[in-house]
Amino acid sequence: MTHRDATPSRGTSPDRPGRTERELREALEALADGVLPDPDAYRTARGEWLRRERRRRLVLAVLIAVVFALATLIGLWVLNQAPSDPGVIFSGAGPTAAEGASLPRLHP
Quote the pTM value. Answer: 0.45
pLDDT, one tens digit per residue, over 1-29 is: 555 555 555 655 555 668 999 999 999 99
Q: What averages of pLDDT result for each successive group of 10 residues across the chain (108 residues)? A: 57 67 93 86 94 98 98 94 69 56 65
CA distance 101 to 96: 9
Contact 9, 20 (CB under 8 A): yes
CA distance 29 to 21: 12
